[in-house]
Amino acid sequence: MGKLRNNFIFITGGVLSSLGKGVITASLASLIEELNYKVNIIKLDPYLNVDAGTMNPYEHGEVFITFDGGETDLDIGHYERFTNIYFSKNNNITAGRIYRDLINKEREGVFLGKTIQVVPHLTNEIKEKILDLSQNFDFTLVEVGGTVGDIEGLPFLEAIRQMAIEFKTKVKFIHVTYVPFLENTEELKTKPSQHSIKKLQESGIQPNLIIVRSEVPITQEIRNKIALFSNLLPKYVLNIPYLSDIYQIPLLLLNQGITKLLIDNKKNNTIKQSKWSDLNIIIKKIEKQPNVVNIAIVGKYTTLKDSYKSLIEALKHSSIENFIKINIKLIDSLKHEKKVIKKELNYIDGVIIAGGFGIRGIKGKINILKYLRENGIPTLGICFGLQLMVIEFCRNVLKIANATSQEFVLDKAVNKAVNNEDFAFVVKLMEDQKYVKLVGGTMRLGNYKCKVIDNTLAFKVYQQEYIIERHRHRYEINNEYLDLLKEKGFIVSGINEELNVVEIMEYVHHPFYLGVQFHPEFNSRIFKPNKLFSFFINFLKTNKFNKTIN
């Protein structure tokens, strides 16, 4: 294939946020990969945070962790789940990072006394970062966060406008917009999209392709109208109506000819048999089957599903691999602070105790863990979930009433525990975290190796001695209590040998009660599910429908 180099596709959004630009970008990248081109994706975020690490999940959804320890926007997770690419922390460029780097250069005298301005200095900084990440790739997809018209996004739009002038035919623009459906009149209304497209054009950007999100499929009349206001032929207006599964989007875009419309008409630019076609057949078959496994995710950010996006998607990946329909129920741990509301756990086949930070909601999680442990309900604890498993076990089995985590009683002002003698710190601050002063980007982050102990449930899950998983935490299980825990059957089944810290623990007197210090959900992809979730789903399926675990 005659390969092209440094082709740029910029994806913008209008009307409102959460239109699915990230999933659309990831879907397009996957389709371009199927054409055997080398693809990279960059996310531009207009907010002034340097990264997503300090943001509350209710503010912006989950924080996705990259292999190299980046705390990034959740869209980076979409990019990884749909493609074969491992993205770096550098692939998420925020306005905060741009301004910080620009000001550092000014302080170092790089600009030799010039007056630093948005144009050209800030826009040059944006372009420079995009170009640095685009070396040796055939296509670079750049998703611009926010919506057209946001004041903080203007420098990014100006930067990509300039790139269209500089690189001419190497640059294309996709604009994602929304057409609402008014139920009372049963009409699709294009006016919001018209304004959004006009606003984009006022920035000097002419879209090459429009993707319309809608609750119901748009008509040809609507397509023609949007095309007219976009200076495009109707074939360049694609539609993604509501779908039951995001993994249906790549095939939908492919069937509307997105690769042919965006990639120059040269040889080998068609996908003969897409992997997404086979996957969609499986998804539709699973949706029709009567058997369902019910899984609860216990957390404290349950009113916003995006807070647990990677976890929910990882479960979906494993449900497809195990060919079983799953029903996910989000349970707010705050409701269980006084006592366990048993009816919330009715018909639940397995429970995941999700990660988190801080003391809010932990009483509810500990109460639920006690109930799950005593009643033999399959349980998987993730990161903070493992730590709470240990605290609950120490309090209720080892009878260490004051067992707790240093996180809950840490005096932030002096960075030390208050009244040490009053607590048994079964979970403690990691050694390398004791002198950390900054909050953002300072935890144990990214890939770390774990040795899986033979003859354990963990080894049965992974079937290999060493695994690599992604981490995001400051606290660890206190090794001083491991012998006491082992005496009662709560054993270590995975360790980091270099740091001598616990990675996996399991309770041997329980069908499935296992906790991990890492976040396996960040290592799961639609075509390569994480082994831990696949085993867990298979275990629940076997328990419920009496089939053999592979």
Q: Is position 383 annotated as part of the catalytic site?
A: yes
Q: What is the DSSP string of 345-392?
A: GTT--EEEE----SSTTHHHHHHHHHHHHHTT--EEEETHHHHHHHHH
Rg over CA atoms, the chain: 25
- In the set 33, 125, 383, 407, the catalytic residue is 383
CA distance 13 to 28: 15
All residues at 6 or more sequence positions from 370 whose CB lies less than 8 Å from its CB, including other chains: 340, 392, 396
Q: Determine if the peptide bond prior to 120 is cis (ω within 30°).
A: yes
Edge-first strand listing for the sheet containing 325-332: 325-332, 292-299, 350-353, 379-382, 513-516, 501-507, 490-496, 444-452, 466-473
Q: Is position 317 annotated as part of the catalytic site?
A: no
CA distance 405 to 385: 12
* Helix pair 21-34, 75-82: axis angle to 10 deg: 30
Q: Six-digit token pair at 208?
A: 């090459």
Contact in structure between 71 and 121 (CB atoms under 8 Å): no
CA distances from 221 to 75, 209, 237 (A): 33, 17, 12
Contact in structure between 12 and 41 (CB atoms under 8 Å): no
CA distance 186 to 195: 21
Q: Six-digit token pair at 225?
A: 């109208």
CA distance 453 to 465: 7
DSSP secondary structure letter of residue 500: T
CA distance 365 to 387: 11
Closest by CA to 430, choosing from 529, 517, 540, is: 517
Closest by CA to 8, choosing from 34, 39, 49, 50, is: 39
CA distance 371 to 367: 6
* Helix pair 21-34, 275-288: axis angle to 10 deg: 130
Look-up: residue for tokens 């109707």? 234
Q: Is position 519 annotated as part of the catalytic site?
A: yes
Strand, coil or helix: 173: strand
CA distance 435 to 415: 8
CA distance 351 to 336: 15
Enumerate the active-site residues.
383, 519, 521
